[in-house]
Structure 1
């Protein structure tokens, strides 16, 4: 649980509550929680659908952040440890 543990709010302490960065941060935490849930409940298909919806929303927010503020996008993906978008996604 060292690298994949929940990401703490200390990373996002200087961000506003409803900003794009904080929304991506919260969605990433929900994704991590659902990933742990699927280790024991692998056939929970309704939760899998919810996970796909969350992933899609985070992807759209990341694409928007990439288009509007590239430096902030790069910092956020480095801090959260998530992959960057493919060229066809933005």
Structure 2
């Protein structure tokens, strides 16, 4: 499906499974799977609601990581290939 689904967990798996980085990684994989699902099932509105919830949770975790450990935040954003936070990028 996508390279994100088969991404190597080498740097993330060294950390605890409950860490913020690992949670963001799992949420990103779920987003990729759902976007693939929407290519076939475009009118699945209940799954769209779930996607919005996942995106909101990932955004909150990214905000927390940005505030607590900026270097780890930048590394994770680059590794996963996702955009950074809008408001946070304007300050940088």
Distance, in Å, in 1 between the alignment partners of 2:10 and 2:68 is 24
The offset of 1:12, in angstroms, is: 1.6
Distance, in Å, in 1 between the alignment partners of 2:88 and 2:70 is 16
What is the TM-score when the length of structure 2 is the normalising length?
0.87
Provide the residue aligned with 1:83 in structure 2.
83
What is the TM-score when the length of structure 1 is the normalising length?
0.89
Equivalences, count: 87
Asked whether the equivalents of residues 13 and 22 of structure 2 are also in contact (C-alpha less than 8 Å), the reply is: no
Provide the residue aligned with 2:55 in structure 1.
55
Gaps of 5+ in 1: none
Distance, in Å, in 2 between the alignment partners of 1:31 and 1:39 is 13
Distance, in Å, in 2 between the alignment partners of 1:29 and 1:11 is 16
List 4+ stretches of structure 1 deviating above 4 A. none
Provide the residue aligned with 1:72 in structure 2.
72
The RMSD of aligned alpha carbons is 1.6
The offset of 1:87, in angstroms, is: 1.3
